[in-house]
Amino acid sequence: MANGDAPGRGEGDVRADRGATDAAYRRARAALRSGAERAGARAHFRAMGIDPDRLDGAVVGIASTWTGTMPCNITQRELAAHAAAAVEGAGGVPLEFNTIAVSDNQTQGTPGMRASLVSREVIADSIELMTHAHDFDALICLVGCDKTTPAALMALARVDKPAVVLYSGPMRAGHLRDRELTIQDMWEGVGAYEAGRITRAELDELEHLSCPGPGTCAGHFTANTMAVALDCLGLAVLGDGLIPADDREAKAEAAGRAGRLAVELAGNGRTARAFLDRRGLRNAMAGVAATGGSTNGLLHLLAIGREAGVDITLDELAEVAAGTPVIASLAPSGRYVAEDMHRAGGAPVVLRELIRSGHMDGDAPAVQGGTLAAATAGAPEPDGRVLARTETPFKPSGALHALRGNLAPDGAVIKPSAATPKLLKHRGRAVVFETIEELKARIDDPNLDIDERCVMVLKNCGPKGYPGMAEVGNMPG
């Protein structure tokens, strides 16, 4: 919608149209409390138990990405209720609504994976459309699984309203004797079983233990990567995102903080694009790189930048990543999981270290007020186990890199921090698979001439080729 201007219209025309729309909203709001022309609207508010006398207060949209189809976002109805109560207690009018969400984990290896990247656009469109329809004074976005956080940020870039974003929290790690488990162990177990390295009983044990409760995947995969990016952008109350999803009391308090802050911001707070500028996106990239985050983080930041009108490139973000030390030891490239990072002080420790060492701009704003530097000044020192100082990082630099070549002339992203040194430079015979389905059909063929020196190339998995940019983490081992 934000890019849906009619062909041939100039920027001046667009600005004039937006100005007229804003004026129309102001007239409609002025009449909402008592004007005869909006009696129908008031009748509907009364039907929901909202006294029209309250409509002089801030009207706050609460966009929940709740879905009962997966554990990632399943606590968000509770969080929305807590946020709504806080909005009402602060004198505002909370209006909750919902979007879709798609589980990358449940759809992997099926045609349903085609829906994942598309869901990001649908979620962004939903939030934008509801804001356009109801003219909220401020927004609270409750996000969780992989595509919901970037989708909410893309929508906020379009509507440019005051907003607070709350990540609904990671899952606890599973445990198998003295070993911590994440969903990655589950998928690796599937590959190990198909390769004959573990028994079906051992696979079943992983299935029962790897995902013990609600929340996003426990490791530092895309969802938790974007939770850190939220803090670095300044659009979340610092430290609230990585509170585990099953810590109901602490998470309810976080939702209450978001609700009260949204009312405070309505009408006079910084709008979303003040956080989604070049400085904010570069800060987010530094945070993603410093925590060994997902390559998807870089791709999502590019999409957010485009919606915010920031001309930022893959090469610019990759340069930030390459120059940032890895100061968090988080799975899959490190040892620990999200709840360990939270116990060690969480994202505020990371931000404080990056600001102190000049890898992040601490003058960028924080949604709770002031700057990121001021908001993180009281964060504890790194514990040296989960989080490190920049002078003694777990890896000196290069959590993410951009590549260009004949396979990806427009650029590709790799995560060398998750690779063994021998994989950073390799030469071998290419074994090419045209589709995911072909790879699945051929990979166990005893006549397939393949060994450790080969390079497997899987084509047609991008946004257009599959379509949908499928993940392929469940390939046989």
**Using one digit for the tens of pLDDT, what is the confidence trace for 400-421?**
888 888 878 888 888 775 556 6
Please count the other Cβ atoms lying within 10 Å of the Cβ belonging to residue 417.
20
pLDDT for res 341: 97
Please tell me what DSSP assigns to residue 370.
S
Q: How far apart are CA 428 and CA 431, in angstroms?
A: 9
Per-residue model confidence (pLDDT) at position 19: 78
Higher pLDDT pick, 266 / 20: 266
Q: Tell me how far CA of residue 404 lies from CA of 136, 359, 401, 409, 410, in angstroms.
A: 43, 25, 10, 5, 7
pLDDT at 417: 57
Residue 6, pLDDT above cutoff 50: no
Kindly state the average pLDDT of the residues 458-463.
Answer: 82
| Through-space distance between the first and last CA atoms of the chain, rounded to whole angstroms | 43
Q: Could you report the per-residue pLDDT of 373-388, keeping only the tens digit for each?
A: 999 999 999 999 999 9
What is the per-residue pLDDT for 313?
Answer: 95
Task: Give dist(CA 127, CA 101) in Å, integer.
Answer: 13
Tell me the mean pLDDT in the region 158-174: 97
Kindly report, residue by residue over 193-214, the tens digit of the pLDDT.
988 999 999 999 999 999 999 9
Q: CB neighbours (10 Å) of residue 178? A: 5
How far does Cα 168 stand from its chain's mean position? 11
pLDDT exceeds 90 at position 476 = no
Residue 9 pLDDT greater than 50, yes or no: no
pLDDT score of 465 more than 80:
no
Alpha carbons 97 and 90: distance in angstroms, whole number: 20
Res. 4 pLDDT band, cuts 50 70 90: very low
Residue 175's DSSP bridge partners are 180
Q: What distance in Å separates the CA atoms of residue 324 and residue 390, rounded to the nearest whole number?
A: 9
For 328-340, what is each residue's pLDDT tens digit?
999 998 999 999 9
Average pLDDT, the chain: 91
DSSP 8-state assignment for residue 446: T
pLDDT tens digits, residue range 252-311?
A: 999 999 999 999 999 888 999 999 999 999 999 999 999 999 999 999 999 999 999 999
Read off the pLDDT of each residue in 28-41 and give the average, rounded to a whole number.
92
Which are the contacts of 94, defined by CB distance < 8 A and separation ≥ 6?
Answer: 60, 62, 83, 84, 85, 87, 88, 259
pLDDT reported for residue 2:
42
Cα 314 to Cα 318: distance, rounded to the nearest angstrom: 6
Domain boundaries, the chain: 57-173+212-375, 426-477
Contact 79, 48 (CB under 8 A): no
Query: What is the per-residue pLDDT for 407?
Result: 76
Res. 3: pLDDT tops 50? no
| Count of C-beta atoms within a 10 Å radius of residue 469 | 18
Tell me: pLDDT of 131 over 60.
yes
Q: Residues 15-27: what's their mean pLDDT?
A: 78
* Range ranked top by mean pLDDT from 354-358, 439-443, 471-475: 354-358
Question: What tokens appear for 84 in the block?
Answer: 């709504």
Instruction: Tell me which of 471 and 435 has the higher pLDDT.
Output: 435
pLDDT at 274: 98
Look at 99-113, 239-253, 447-461 and tell me which has the smallest mean pLDDT: 447-461
**pLDDT at residue 14 is higher than 80:** no
